[in-house]
Structure 1
């Protein structure tokens, strides 16, 4: 299940977890050879979906296209939605030998609609390619491991001729009351007009009305609900409200007497986020952010982390006393975001525009914008997400890069103006001025004083940032040091747990003392597998800046953070 709750009760659905046939295609001959019509089953291995293929020893270093195949059955004839919640990085999907849909971008879902399928068995074939270049998103030199394959869930849902395609909620709060606008999109696959009954519920409040939609067409309608005595979502009391859109109606004349039903379910939490001077406000009160950066990475699971690992990660982070997670550097699994909603954890979610400059920004721009739209549309109802981050460590001193950020800001404002917007920048650490900060509600600052450089310090660095930009909240979004697990020295040398813990303590104490700093997120939560091209420059081929190891064993820095934040030992 890709969420912590059911997203529909009316649709007959299949989650296609389990073994798929799998074959790599290093010479990229599969399309010309017609693998989508005649899959080479005799040469195929079997691989679990969801999973990263690099998590298997025999494919640990494979980069390039690979092909998947499996079948599924339909009890009744009809139409289905086939949703892939994450395929890295480029995917083409074939159903019964015909292309159904394609997608570029490994961190957001995509759906294909298959109409009028016969009852019985059907074949899905997927070509996935994890090749990265200097203009892909992310590009080929990213500082994390570019996992490949179908690493999130695949879901097949049977839908009636008239079905719910989308549900988007916006709300305004006035004291204890909320006004909710629910925008609902219907699709009619049949040739005749339909006028089903639509009911939308938020908690105990319900509004129902008839909605007309022409044959072979779509219709978007907005209904408004008034909710009194709202319990706001807070860190201490993360109240969530169930949301449901339900559609019911009579079938067309040639199926007289038959009815259809469809529904979509989600959750929301009512809260307001804003900035005031150097403060970030949650429900009108300043909140001090204390957190970590988290990659989706595990030695046994790759990027395909099961619920148990997600729950364990969140528990470890909470026990450290943290209240914030930065999803570095891409949209995390929606089920992990559900857990953050339930536990009262604040989230900064980011698109994977990482260290883009003027030579590559044009090639990355379209996919970056697409990923931003898909991220916001997927995650707009999570109350835990208080900010969207548009990039990380891009060359924001360059006008073309800043102009691209301006366009992203316009896009996100058009989709969702209820959250803050930021970018994570190391421009000032590199001695430059960040042109993109003018488009941000708060400033995320990355620097590694005491690790990569010793010619300055955090106090002077923050003084310069406060003097260089308009008065906005500052969040130290990356800082830290690497530590090889078990390495401890009396001298506290670099790469020791001792050095990492001492640097972390000095930084956190400084950040918490400064009025201009609204919070911090340590780089990083756990040690992660690095880009294979960087393997010779890092111990154990990993980014070892985690406060816990890749298997989540605590380093000295973790216990230091527990003590500083009054966490639980």
Structure 2
């Protein structure tokens, strides 16, 4: 086993145990407490913050967290600010610990108060955020947390479900914690080795410099040597561990054989464990060679469907039973690859994709001809991308990052569509930024201008690893135009359709679309297609039927199958022949 250790920051070398003698030992207290469940709720765009802090919360309505207020009839059309409140107690043995409150997602703009003190704000409806509440939380009496969620901001044709849509939890840590371990495992098929690289982000909240030891273990594969990391008081350090193993010792992750390994790490000071982290990893290599995708040194073509995070009863909360049902259904259709949605996906969905072998392109919600976020070096979109990548780095199902979808100049003439200068610069700068966060995965941007007025110099061709192209017309002709103007790279038809399919059970794909889907198989540079969409979804976008649900799906919003379902299954079977 070979090993090299790199330290990104340099701090002084001073060993110090930050353990409070009166504090509970690491193994003797619960690390996470869920705040899911019943919260008090008020929908109001007029109430003043001062009145909220002193409100009689028992007079408010109640909602479940995670949840969306617009799944309730009385709030089904409500847009604006919703306020959530609940009380909690902190365990006695958390005294002396670092205590944080974590939100896995709140749509879309949020503010959080604890005991009347504003903790902070977050913008972005799909990624996690947290606040350190150690110095504010009451250890001996009730605490009151108040959350403002505002769903005014909207992108795309999907419904802007409002509220606290993911888990809320309290977390306790020692003064030194392991924030994340980002694990890369790259097979080399010439040397028959696997190169492992692990980046540990370690945070020291104490008032003293410390030295901590990091010990990692891949169950049944490897136990690299322990490393020491020195961190100044109040500092954060990225430490990097590299080691190799024989390729013959591992089973690779593939859409047919999604083998996973457990990667465990511990932090210790003076021999005492102070932090632990476990992630499941898949060892695989997904790359582009010429105009083809390669998975583990084998050329692959893969199809899929786009799936909107939407259900009449569950909104966009993505309960596990729905995720499992839908993703297994996609696999049964012959689907293995898709940019499932125009926004960061729920963590439980990604873990399920890991377990069943479904490859994913993950994207941030920048979309259309009027997106105010589409300008270069945008700090907000960079934060969205960073939050998504830091959360999802270890998911082997994710093989590419996308910086946006269908940006275009305004106007009604679709034949004249191209990126504006600001939109082009946005995509260009974001692709560069993605590379600084993760240089191990592919990068793309989803275009509908490549076959219109887009040209080299006005279309982000050079920096994407593959072309993601949406088509709602003659897809084979549009793919030919794109390939002629931008040769030498794979083209994935990330969305394909012609018009809404219609209601269940008789909605079906048109003969024209069926012909397009079959013909695209004959184009060697087309690596696959992804139908828009798997499910019907709630919307108030133009062209939505009176039902309030856009009928693009091969199943309806409650997952009742249409005739299109069987049609698509036969088409994807044809692709595999």
Q: TM-score, normalised by structure 2?
A: 0.86
The 3 A distance-change label for structure 1 pair 162 and 486 is closer
Shift in Å, 1:123: 1.9
The 3 A distance-change label for structure 1 pair 63 and 113 is same
The 3 A distance-change label for structure 1 pair 208 and 462 is same
Whether 1:210 aligns to 2:228 is: yes
Whether 1:159 aligns to 2:173 is: yes
Q: What per-residue deviation string (whole Å, max 9, x for no partner) do you get for residues 478-530 of structure 1?
A: 11231222475xxxxxxxx24x2534422221111221211011000100011
Shift in Å, 1:108: 0.8
- 1:441: which partner in 2? 465
Greater mean deviation of Cα atoms: 387-396 or 225-234? 225-234
Pairing partner for 2:503 from 459, 462, 485: 485
- 2:413: which partner in 1? none
Q: Does the Cα contact within 8 Å between 1:205 and 1:227 map onto a contact in 2? A: yes
Partners of 1:471 and 1:342 in 2: how far apart?
33
Whether 1:329 aligns to 2:345 is: no
Pairing partner for 1:51 from 39, 60, 67: 67
Output aligned runs, 1:448-487, within 5 Å.
448-449=472-473, 457-480=474-497, 481-486=499-504
Q: Does the Cα contact within 8 Å between 1:421 and 1:441 map onto a contact in 2? A: yes
Partners of 1:266 and 1:294 in 2: how far apart?
26
The 3 A distance-change label for structure 1 pair 70 and 327 is same
The 3 A distance-change label for structure 1 pair 122 and 366 is same
Q: Secondary structure at the match of 1:436?
A: coil
Q: Secondary structure at the match of 1:437?
A: coil
Q: Does the Cα contact within 8 Å between 1:289 and 1:519 map onto a contact in 2? A: yes
Partners of 1:65 and 1:321 in 2: how far apart?
42
The 3 A distance-change label for structure 1 pair 186 and 11 is farther
Output aligned runs, 1:66-85, within 5 Å.
66-75=82-91, 76=93, 77=95, 78-85=97-104
- 2:129: which partner in 1? 110
Q: Secondary structure at the match of 1:565?
A: helix
Whether 1:557 aligns to 2:576 is: no
Q: Which runs of 5+ in 2 are unaligned?
A: 1-26, 409-417
- 1:128: which partner in 2? 149
The 3 A distance-change label for structure 1 pair 50 and 487 is closer
The 3 A distance-change label for structure 1 pair 122 and 341 is same
Output aligned runs, 1:236-275, within 5 Å.
236-249=256-269, 261-275=274-288
- 1:4: which partner in 2? none
Shift in Å, 1:100: 2.0
Partners of 2:281 and 2:274 in 1: how far apart?
23
Pairing partner for 1:400 from 393, 403, 422: 422
Greater mean deviation of Cα atoms: 354-363 or 115-124? 354-363
- 2:435: which partner in 1? 413
The 3 A distance-change label for structure 1 pair 283 and 10 is farther
Q: Does the Cα contact within 8 Å between 2:476 and 2:516 map onto a contact in 1? A: no
Q: Does the Cα contact within 8 Å between 2:376 and 2:429 map onto a contact in 1? A: no
Partners of 1:10 and 1:402 in 2: how far apart?
51
Partners of 2:48 and 2:82 in 1: how far apart?
9
Shift in Å, 1:72: 1.9
Whether 1:65 aligns to 2:81 is: yes
The 3 A distance-change label for structure 1 pair 537 and 226 is closer
Q: TM-score, normalised by structure 1?
A: 0.87
Q: Does the Cα contact within 8 Å between 1:52 and 1:147 map onto a contact in 2? A: yes
Partners of 1:307 and 1:282 in 2: how far apart?
28
- 2:213: which partner in 1? 197
Pairing partner for 2:315 from 295, 298, 302: 302
Partners of 1:501 and 1:81 in 2: how far apart?
53
Q: Does the Cα contact within 8 Å between 2:339 and 2:362 map onto a contact in 1? A: yes
Output aligned runs, 1:499-518, within 5 Å.
500=509, 502-518=511-527
Partners of 1:398 and 1:346 in 2: how far apart?
31
- 2:293: which partner in 1? 280
Shift in Å, 1:383: 1.0
Shift in Å, 1:9: 11
Whether 1:95 aligns to 2:119 is: no
The 3 A distance-change label for structure 1 pair 233 and 460 is same
Shift in Å, 1:250: 5.2
Pairwise CA RMSD: 2.4
Q: Does the Cα contact within 8 Å between 1:79 and 1:161 map onto a contact in 2? A: yes
Shift in Å, 1:202: 2.6
Shift in Å, 1:260: 5.4
Q: Does the Cα contact within 8 Å between 1:358 and 1:400 map onto a contact in 2? A: no
Q: What per-residue deviation string (whole Å, max 9, x for no partner) do you get for residues 7-33 of structure 1?
A: x99852112111011111222x332x2
Partners of 2:255 and 2:541 in 1: how far apart?
40
Q: Does the Cα contact within 8 Å between 1:67 and 1:125 map onto a contact in 2? A: yes
